Homo-oligomer: A and B are copies of this chain.
Amino acid sequence: MKVNGTHYRPIWQAADGSAVEIIDQTRLPHEFAVARLASMADAAHAIRAMLVRGAPLIGATAAWGLWLAMREDPSDSGLASAYETLMATRPTAVNLRWALDAGRARLATVAPGERVAAAEAFARRVCDEDAELNHAIGRHGLAIIEAIAATKPPGETVNVLTHCNAGWLATVDWGTATSPIYQAHDAGIPIHVWVDETRPRNQGAFLTAWELGNHGVDHTVIVDNAGGHLMQRGRVDLCIVGTDRVSANGDVANKIGTYLKALAAHDNGVPFYVALPSPTIDWTLHDGFAIPIEERSPDEVTRIPGRLDDGTTGAVTITPPGSRAANPAFDVTPARLVTGLITERGVAPATPEGLLGLFPERVAAGE
Protein backbone atom coordinates (compact mmCIF):
# COMPACT_ATOMS: atom_id res chain seq x y z
CA MET A 1 0.00 0.00 0.00
CA LYS A 2 1.05 3.65 -0.10
CA VAL A 3 3.61 5.57 1.93
CA ASN A 4 4.05 9.22 0.96
CA GLY A 5 2.17 8.47 -2.25
CA THR A 6 4.46 5.61 -3.32
CA HIS A 7 3.38 1.97 -3.31
CA TYR A 8 5.39 -0.14 -0.88
CA ARG A 9 5.52 -3.69 0.26
CA PRO A 10 7.22 -4.30 3.63
CA ILE A 11 9.90 -6.38 1.85
CA TRP A 12 11.38 -6.18 -1.65
CA GLN A 13 14.48 -6.95 -3.66
CA ALA A 14 16.72 -3.89 -4.00
CA ALA A 15 16.45 -2.25 -7.44
CA ASP A 16 20.01 -3.26 -8.37
CA GLY A 17 19.39 -6.84 -7.25
CA SER A 18 22.18 -6.67 -4.71
CA ALA A 19 20.19 -7.14 -1.52
CA VAL A 20 16.75 -7.31 0.09
CA GLU A 21 15.21 -4.23 1.63
CA ILE A 22 12.60 -4.02 4.37
CA ILE A 23 10.74 -1.37 6.30
CA ASP A 24 12.26 -1.43 9.80
CA GLN A 25 9.08 -1.86 11.83
CA THR A 26 10.82 -1.31 15.15
CA ARG A 27 11.15 2.36 14.19
CA LEU A 28 7.45 2.83 13.36
CA PRO A 29 5.43 4.94 13.76
CA HIS A 30 8.09 7.44 14.76
CA GLU A 31 10.39 7.04 11.77
CA PHE A 32 10.08 5.50 8.30
CA ALA A 33 13.40 3.72 7.83
CA VAL A 34 14.40 1.17 5.20
CA ALA A 35 16.87 -1.50 6.33
CA ARG A 36 19.12 -3.33 3.90
CA LEU A 37 19.56 -7.09 4.27
CA ALA A 38 22.78 -7.93 2.44
CA SER A 39 23.38 -11.35 3.97
CA MET A 40 21.56 -14.32 5.39
CA ALA A 41 22.72 -13.17 8.81
CA ASP A 42 21.01 -9.82 8.22
CA ALA A 43 17.77 -11.61 7.36
CA ALA A 44 18.00 -13.79 10.48
CA HIS A 45 18.61 -10.70 12.60
CA ALA A 46 15.65 -8.88 11.01
CA ILE A 47 13.34 -11.73 12.01
CA ARG A 48 14.83 -12.26 15.45
CA ALA A 49 14.88 -8.58 16.38
CA MET A 50 11.40 -8.10 14.94
CA LEU A 51 12.34 -5.54 12.29
CA VAL A 52 9.77 -7.65 10.46
CA ARG A 53 6.81 -9.26 12.24
CA GLY A 54 3.50 -10.83 11.26
CA ALA A 55 3.33 -14.48 10.22
CA PRO A 56 3.23 -14.02 6.41
CA LEU A 57 5.99 -11.42 6.40
CA ILE A 58 8.22 -13.62 8.57
CA GLY A 59 7.75 -16.41 6.02
CA ALA A 60 8.57 -14.07 3.14
CA THR A 61 11.68 -12.78 4.91
CA ALA A 62 12.85 -16.34 5.50
CA ALA A 63 12.36 -17.10 1.80
CA TRP A 64 14.48 -14.10 0.84
CA GLY A 65 16.94 -15.20 3.52
CA LEU A 66 17.41 -18.46 1.63
CA TRP A 67 18.23 -16.46 -1.51
CA LEU A 68 20.83 -14.43 0.37
CA ALA A 69 22.23 -17.67 1.80
CA MET A 70 22.51 -19.32 -1.62
CA ARG A 71 24.51 -16.36 -2.89
CA GLU A 72 26.93 -16.95 -0.02
CA ASP A 73 27.12 -20.74 -0.16
CA PRO A 74 24.87 -22.75 -2.51
CA SER A 75 26.24 -26.12 -1.39
CA ASP A 76 24.12 -28.72 0.39
CA SER A 77 25.80 -27.87 3.65
CA GLY A 78 25.22 -24.17 3.00
CA LEU A 79 21.52 -24.90 2.47
CA ALA A 80 21.30 -27.01 5.62
CA SER A 81 23.06 -24.38 7.68
CA ALA A 82 20.86 -21.55 6.36
CA TYR A 83 17.74 -23.59 7.13
CA GLU A 84 18.87 -24.16 10.73
CA THR A 85 19.88 -20.56 11.32
CA LEU A 86 16.70 -19.07 9.92
CA MET A 87 14.46 -21.62 11.66
CA ALA A 88 15.97 -20.74 15.03
CA THR A 89 14.98 -17.07 14.77
CA ARG A 90 11.33 -17.45 15.84
CA PRO A 91 10.91 -21.15 16.57
CA THR A 92 7.12 -21.12 17.04
CA ALA A 93 6.22 -19.20 13.85
CA VAL A 94 4.21 -21.52 11.63
CA ASN A 95 4.80 -19.55 8.42
CA LEU A 96 8.51 -19.49 9.06
CA ARG A 97 8.60 -23.29 9.17
CA TRP A 98 6.35 -23.55 6.12
CA ALA A 99 8.49 -21.21 4.00
CA LEU A 100 11.75 -22.83 5.04
CA ASP A 101 10.49 -26.39 4.53
CA ALA A 102 9.08 -25.55 1.10
CA GLY A 103 12.16 -23.53 0.13
CA ARG A 104 14.60 -26.23 1.20
CA ALA A 105 12.59 -28.89 -0.64
CA ARG A 106 12.58 -26.77 -3.79
CA LEU A 107 16.29 -25.98 -3.66
CA ALA A 108 17.26 -29.58 -2.92
CA THR A 109 15.89 -30.54 -6.32
CA VAL A 110 18.27 -28.28 -8.26
CA ALA A 111 22.02 -28.28 -8.61
CA PRO A 112 24.00 -25.85 -6.42
CA GLY A 113 24.83 -23.77 -9.47
CA GLU A 114 21.13 -23.09 -10.09
CA ARG A 115 20.14 -22.45 -6.51
CA VAL A 116 20.56 -18.68 -6.47
CA ALA A 117 18.12 -18.29 -9.35
CA ALA A 118 15.75 -20.91 -7.92
CA ALA A 119 15.77 -19.27 -4.49
CA GLU A 120 15.02 -15.88 -6.02
CA ALA A 121 12.10 -17.31 -7.97
CA PHE A 122 10.85 -19.09 -4.85
CA ALA A 123 10.99 -15.92 -2.73
CA ARG A 124 9.16 -13.93 -5.41
CA ARG A 125 6.48 -16.59 -5.58
CA VAL A 126 6.02 -16.68 -1.79
CA CYS A 127 5.56 -12.91 -1.79
CA ASP A 128 3.25 -12.73 -4.79
CA GLU A 129 1.09 -15.60 -3.56
CA ASP A 130 0.64 -13.91 -0.19
CA ALA A 131 -0.33 -10.66 -1.89
CA GLU A 132 -2.84 -12.50 -4.08
CA LEU A 133 -4.32 -14.37 -1.12
CA ASN A 134 -4.86 -11.14 0.78
CA HIS A 135 -6.24 -9.39 -2.27
CA ALA A 136 -8.83 -12.16 -2.61
CA ILE A 137 -9.75 -11.84 1.10
CA GLY A 138 -10.20 -8.13 0.49
CA ARG A 139 -12.52 -8.67 -2.46
CA HIS A 140 -14.86 -10.81 -0.37
CA GLY A 141 -14.67 -8.37 2.53
CA LEU A 142 -15.32 -5.46 0.18
CA ALA A 143 -18.67 -7.02 -0.73
CA ILE A 144 -19.64 -6.93 2.96
CA ILE A 145 -18.68 -3.26 3.23
CA GLU A 146 -20.51 -2.44 0.00
CA ALA A 147 -23.64 -4.11 1.35
CA ILE A 148 -23.46 -2.02 4.54
CA ALA A 149 -22.80 1.16 2.55
CA ALA A 150 -25.88 0.37 0.46
CA THR A 151 -28.09 0.51 3.58
CA LYS A 152 -26.93 4.07 4.32
CA PRO A 153 -27.75 7.38 2.65
CA PRO A 154 -25.36 7.94 -0.27
CA GLY A 155 -22.00 9.32 0.85
CA GLU A 156 -22.43 8.39 4.49
CA THR A 157 -19.34 6.91 6.12
CA VAL A 158 -19.00 3.24 6.98
CA ASN A 159 -17.34 2.86 10.39
CA VAL A 160 -15.13 -0.18 10.91
CA LEU A 161 -13.47 -1.15 14.19
CA THR A 162 -10.28 -3.20 14.14
CA HIS A 163 -7.99 -4.59 16.82
CA CYS A 164 -4.20 -5.02 16.67
CA ASN A 165 -2.43 -4.96 13.28
CA ALA A 166 -3.62 -7.42 10.69
CA GLY A 167 -2.43 -4.96 8.08
CA TRP A 168 -0.09 -4.89 5.13
CA LEU A 169 2.88 -4.46 7.42
CA ALA A 170 2.19 -7.96 8.82
CA THR A 171 1.87 -9.51 5.37
CA VAL A 172 3.42 -8.87 1.98
CA ASP A 173 0.63 -6.63 0.75
CA TRP A 174 -2.97 -5.59 1.56
CA GLY A 175 -3.04 -7.22 5.00
CA THR A 176 -5.89 -9.48 6.05
CA ALA A 177 -8.32 -7.46 8.18
CA THR A 178 -7.24 -4.27 6.40
CA SER A 179 -7.57 -5.62 2.87
CA PRO A 180 -11.35 -5.02 2.66
CA ILE A 181 -10.78 -1.57 4.17
CA TYR A 182 -8.14 -0.58 1.59
CA GLN A 183 -10.23 -1.93 -1.26
CA ALA A 184 -13.31 -0.05 -0.05
CA HIS A 185 -11.25 3.13 0.26
CA ASP A 186 -9.72 2.65 -3.18
CA ALA A 187 -13.22 2.03 -4.59
CA GLY A 188 -14.33 5.42 -3.28
CA ILE A 189 -16.54 4.18 -0.44
CA PRO A 190 -16.31 6.70 2.43
CA ILE A 191 -14.80 4.66 5.22
CA HIS A 192 -13.51 5.45 8.70
CA VAL A 193 -11.63 3.08 10.98
CA TRP A 194 -11.67 2.99 14.78
CA VAL A 195 -8.19 1.74 15.63
CA ASP A 196 -7.87 -0.03 19.01
CA GLU A 197 -4.47 0.91 20.41
CA THR A 198 -4.06 -2.76 21.42
CA ARG A 199 -2.19 -2.83 24.67
CA PRO A 200 0.23 -4.09 25.68
CA ARG A 201 2.30 -3.80 22.48
CA ASN A 202 0.21 -1.05 20.92
CA GLN A 203 0.27 -2.50 17.41
CA GLY A 204 -2.89 -0.56 16.62
CA ALA A 205 -1.54 2.83 17.68
CA PHE A 206 1.92 2.13 16.26
CA LEU A 207 1.27 0.24 13.04
CA THR A 208 -2.37 0.20 11.98
CA ALA A 209 -2.71 3.95 12.48
CA TRP A 210 0.52 4.53 10.55
CA GLU A 211 -0.58 2.27 7.67
CA LEU A 212 -4.02 3.77 7.36
CA GLY A 213 -2.76 7.33 7.61
CA ASN A 214 -0.13 6.81 4.92
CA HIS A 215 -2.64 5.28 2.56
CA GLY A 216 -5.04 8.14 3.22
CA VAL A 217 -7.70 6.17 5.09
CA ASP A 218 -9.61 8.21 7.67
CA HIS A 219 -9.13 6.75 11.15
CA THR A 220 -9.25 7.50 14.86
CA VAL A 221 -7.14 5.84 17.55
CA ILE A 222 -9.05 4.77 20.66
CA VAL A 223 -8.08 2.98 23.85
CA ASP A 224 -9.09 -0.67 23.98
CA ASN A 225 -11.69 0.25 26.60
CA ALA A 226 -13.67 2.49 24.24
CA GLY A 227 -15.04 0.13 21.58
CA GLY A 228 -17.97 -1.18 23.61
CA HIS A 229 -19.24 2.33 24.28
CA LEU A 230 -18.93 3.25 20.60
CA MET A 231 -20.93 0.17 19.62
CA GLN A 232 -23.63 0.98 22.18
CA ARG A 233 -23.99 4.41 20.58
CA GLY A 234 -24.27 3.09 17.02
CA ARG A 235 -20.88 4.44 15.96
CA VAL A 236 -19.51 1.13 14.64
CA ASP A 237 -21.02 -0.55 11.58
CA LEU A 238 -18.83 -3.64 11.62
CA CYS A 239 -15.72 -5.11 13.20
CA ILE A 240 -12.99 -6.83 11.19
CA VAL A 241 -10.03 -8.44 12.91
CA GLY A 242 -7.30 -10.88 11.93
CA THR A 243 -6.40 -14.12 13.64
CA ASP A 244 -3.43 -16.27 14.55
CA ARG A 245 -5.30 -19.57 14.41
CA VAL A 246 -8.87 -20.67 13.74
CA SER A 247 -10.04 -24.11 14.89
CA ALA A 248 -12.12 -26.27 12.57
CA ASN A 249 -15.28 -25.35 14.51
CA GLY A 250 -14.71 -21.63 13.96
CA ASP A 251 -13.23 -20.50 17.28
CA VAL A 252 -10.77 -17.65 16.76
CA ALA A 253 -7.47 -17.17 18.58
CA ASN A 254 -6.32 -13.59 18.17
CA LYS A 255 -4.61 -10.78 20.05
CA ILE A 256 -5.71 -10.39 23.67
CA GLY A 257 -8.88 -8.28 23.89
CA THR A 258 -10.48 -9.53 20.69
CA TYR A 259 -13.01 -11.53 22.73
CA LEU A 260 -14.19 -8.42 24.57
CA LYS A 261 -14.91 -6.64 21.28
CA ALA A 262 -16.74 -9.68 19.94
CA LEU A 263 -18.92 -9.70 23.07
CA ALA A 264 -19.74 -6.02 22.61
CA ALA A 265 -20.49 -6.52 18.92
CA HIS A 266 -22.82 -9.41 19.73
CA ASP A 267 -24.56 -7.41 22.46
CA ASN A 268 -25.20 -4.53 20.07
CA GLY A 269 -26.00 -6.36 16.86
CA VAL A 270 -22.78 -5.22 15.17
CA PRO A 271 -21.40 -7.75 12.64
CA PHE A 272 -18.07 -9.21 13.76
CA TYR A 273 -15.87 -10.60 10.97
CA VAL A 274 -12.52 -12.35 11.08
CA ALA A 275 -10.28 -12.15 7.98
CA LEU A 276 -7.85 -15.00 7.38
CA PRO A 277 -5.93 -16.88 4.71
CA SER A 278 -6.99 -20.52 4.82
CA PRO A 279 -3.59 -21.80 6.05
CA THR A 280 -4.57 -20.18 9.36
CA ILE A 281 -7.29 -22.80 9.81
CA ASP A 282 -6.17 -25.66 12.03
CA TRP A 283 -8.26 -28.50 10.61
CA THR A 284 -6.99 -30.91 13.27
CA LEU A 285 -8.38 -28.84 16.12
CA HIS A 286 -12.09 -28.90 16.94
CA ASP A 287 -12.06 -26.66 20.01
CA GLY A 288 -10.31 -23.29 19.97
CA PHE A 289 -9.96 -23.35 23.73
CA ALA A 290 -7.35 -26.10 23.32
CA ILE A 291 -5.02 -23.55 21.68
CA PRO A 292 -2.22 -22.79 24.14
CA ILE A 293 -2.07 -19.10 25.07
CA GLU A 294 1.40 -17.59 25.14
CA GLU A 295 2.24 -15.73 28.34
CA ARG A 296 4.69 -12.99 27.38
CA SER A 297 7.04 -10.82 29.44
CA PRO A 298 5.36 -8.62 32.07
CA ASP A 299 7.70 -5.85 30.94
CA GLU A 300 5.41 -5.32 27.94
CA VAL A 301 2.65 -4.36 30.37
CA THR A 302 4.66 -2.23 32.77
CA ARG A 303 6.90 -0.38 30.31
CA ILE A 304 5.56 1.51 27.29
CA PRO A 305 7.84 2.66 24.48
CA GLY A 306 7.18 5.75 22.41
CA ARG A 307 8.43 9.14 21.26
CA LEU A 308 9.81 11.40 23.96
CA ASP A 309 9.10 15.11 23.90
CA ASP A 310 12.59 15.79 22.47
CA GLY A 311 11.79 13.63 19.43
CA THR A 312 13.96 10.68 20.42
CA THR A 313 12.43 7.36 21.40
CA GLY A 314 12.30 6.00 24.93
CA ALA A 315 9.96 4.29 27.35
CA VAL A 316 7.99 4.98 30.50
CA THR A 317 7.23 2.58 33.35
CA ILE A 318 3.67 2.93 34.58
CA THR A 319 3.44 0.61 37.59
CA PRO A 320 4.78 0.99 41.12
CA PRO A 321 8.07 -0.89 41.67
CA GLY A 322 6.51 -3.59 43.85
CA SER A 323 3.60 -4.50 41.56
CA ARG A 324 3.86 -7.51 39.28
CA ALA A 325 2.04 -7.86 35.95
CA ALA A 326 0.65 -10.71 33.88
CA ASN A 327 0.67 -10.71 30.09
CA PRO A 328 -1.46 -13.29 28.28
CA ALA A 329 -0.90 -12.46 24.60
CA PHE A 330 -3.99 -13.99 22.98
CA ASP A 331 -7.54 -14.89 23.76
CA VAL A 332 -10.07 -17.16 22.10
CA THR A 333 -13.31 -15.78 20.70
CA PRO A 334 -15.93 -18.52 20.60
CA ALA A 335 -17.43 -19.19 17.18
CA ARG A 336 -20.91 -18.21 18.41
CA LEU A 337 -19.77 -14.56 18.53
CA VAL A 338 -18.32 -14.53 15.00
CA THR A 339 -20.57 -13.37 12.17
CA GLY A 340 -18.34 -14.77 9.45
CA LEU A 341 -14.85 -15.85 8.47
CA ILE A 342 -13.56 -13.94 5.43
CA THR A 343 -11.22 -16.26 3.52
CA GLU A 344 -9.66 -16.10 0.06
CA ARG A 345 -12.50 -18.33 -1.19
CA GLY A 346 -15.36 -16.32 0.28
CA VAL A 347 -17.12 -15.72 3.58
CA ALA A 348 -17.90 -18.79 5.68
CA PRO A 349 -20.12 -19.06 8.74
CA ALA A 350 -17.96 -19.82 11.79
CA THR A 351 -19.12 -23.43 12.00
CA PRO A 352 -17.59 -26.78 11.00
CA GLU A 353 -20.12 -27.02 8.14
CA GLY A 354 -19.47 -23.44 7.08
CA LEU A 355 -15.73 -23.97 6.79
CA LEU A 356 -16.04 -27.34 5.06
CA GLY A 357 -18.51 -25.78 2.63
CA LEU A 358 -15.75 -23.47 1.37
CA PHE A 359 -13.03 -26.10 1.58
CA PRO A 360 -14.79 -29.30 0.46
CA GLU A 361 -11.45 -31.00 -0.18
CA ARG A 362 -11.16 -31.22 3.60
CA VAL A 363 -14.26 -33.42 3.72
CA ALA A 364 -12.51 -35.78 1.30
CA ALA A 365 -9.48 -35.59 3.59
CA GLY A 366 -11.69 -36.89 6.40
CA GLU A 367 -11.48 -33.78 8.52
Q: Does A50 contact B (CB under 8 A)?
A: no
Q: Which residues of A291-323 are within 8 A (CB) of B?
A: 293, 301-302, 304-309, 313-320, 322-323
Chain B: minimal CB distance from A319 (Å): 5
- Pick the interface stretch among A137-145, A198-206, A275-283: A198-206
Q: Does A362 contact B (CB under 8 A)?
A: no
**Oligomer: number of copies:** 2
Interface size on A, residues (CB 8 A): 66
Q: Does A220 contact B (CB under 8 A)?
A: yes
Chain B: minimal CB distance from A141 (Å): 22
Q: Does A222 contact B (CB under 8 A)?
A: yes
**What residues of chain B lie closer than 8 Å to A200, measured between beta carbons?**
223, 225
Q: How many Å lie between the Cα of A313 and that of B302 in the bound state?
A: 14
Q: Which of B199, B202, B309 contacts A224 (CB 8 A)?
A: B199
Please state if A205 and B309 are interface contacts (CB–CB under 8 Å). Answer: no
- Pick the interface stretch among A67-75, A107-115, A256-264: A256-264
Q: Does A328 contact B (CB under 8 A)?
A: yes
**What residues of chain B lie closer than 8 Å to A83, measured between beta carbons?**
none
Q: Which of B232, B261, B306, B331 contacts A304 (CB 8 A)?
A: B306
Evaluate whether A221 and B260 lie within 8 angstroms (CB atoms) in the complex, with A316-B306, A320-B213 already known: no
Chain B: minimal CB distance from A274 (Å): 16
CB-defined interface of A209-247 with B at 8 Å, one 1/0 digit per residue? Answer: 110110000011111111111101000000000000000
Please state if A222 and B323 are interface contacts (CB–CB under 8 Å). Answer: no
Please state if A323 and B257 are interface contacts (CB–CB under 8 Å). Answer: no
Q: How many Å lie between the Cα of A200 and that of B226 in the bound state?
A: 10
Q: Which residues of A80-106 are within 8 A (CB) of B?
A: none
Q: Which of B29, B308, B315 contacts A319 (CB 8 A)?
A: B29
Q: Which of B202, B213, B225, B302 contacts A323 (CB 8 A)?
A: B213
**What residues of chain B lie closer than 8 Å to A257, measured between beta carbons?**
223-226, 228
Given contacts A229-B331, A232-B259, A260-B264, 19 further A-B contacts (CB under 8 A): A28-B320, A29-B323, A199-B199, A200-B223, A200-B225, A205-B319, A206-B320, A210-B320, A210-B323, A213-B323, A220-B324, A220-B325, A221-B325, A223-B327, A224-B224, A226-B257, A228-B260, A229-B330, A308-B315
Q: Can you identify 12 A-B contacts, CB atoms within 8 angstroms? A: A199-B224, A206-B318, A206-B320, A209-B320, A219-B324, A221-B302, A223-B301, A223-B327, A226-B257, A260-B264, A309-B314, A309-B317
